[in-house]
């Protein structure tokens, strides 16, 4: 079996545009697909489905299917997902602390690059 590059695994999860938003939407609650979709109105159904599957595959989200008509599906964070939620909070704090400095650096770089 091929050894997994742990850093790449983390970055693959974090780099998903919607993963962090979905995790934050779930927070410590169980939500139906439609509730997640309403909380994230900018996301397309296909993208939401694919991201939830990826999060489920990585053990971040637990999916429960209820045998009903129409089928009802609920999602909740696993213990790994709750840790991911905490990590996303730390990243958000880091961004808030350094946002102005990062923007200044980007502008400075862009000005130098135009020459």
26's enclosing H/E stretch is: helix 19-26
What would the DSSP string read from start to end of 31-88? EEHHHHHHH-TTS-HHHHHHHHHHHHHTTSEEEEEE--SS-EEEEEE-HHHHHHHHHH
Q: Are 77 and 24 in contact (CB under 8 A)?
A: no
Residue 92 is predicted with a pLDDT of 85
Architecture of domain 6-113: Orthogonal Bundle (1.10)
Q: What is the C-alpha separation between 55 and 61, in angstroms, rounded? A: 5
Q: Which residue in this structure is represented by tokens 């089928």? A: 71
Residue 113 is predicted with a pLDDT of 86
**Single pTM value for the model:** 0.79
Beta bridge partners of 63: 75
In tens digits, what is the pLDDT along the chain, a chain of 115 residues?
Answer: 456 677 777 777 777 889 999 999 999 899 999 999 999 999 999 999 999 999 999 999 999 999 988 889 999 999 999 998 998 889 889 999 999 999 999 999 999 988 6
């Amino acid at each position: 079996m091929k050894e997994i590059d742990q850093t790449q695994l983390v970055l693959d999860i974090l780099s998903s545009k919607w993963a962090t938003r979905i995790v934050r939407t779930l927070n410590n609650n169980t939500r139906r697909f439609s509730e997640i979709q309403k909380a994230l109105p900018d996301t397309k159904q296909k993208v939401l489905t694919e991201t939830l599957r990826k999060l489920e595959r990585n053990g971040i989200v637990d999916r429960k299917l209820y045998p009903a008509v129409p089928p009802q599906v609920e999602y909740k964070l696993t213990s790994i997902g709750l840790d991911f939620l905490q990590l996303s909070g730390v990243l958000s704090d880091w961004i808030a602390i350094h946002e102005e400095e990062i923007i200044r650096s980007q502008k400075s770089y862009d000005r130098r690059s135009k020459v």
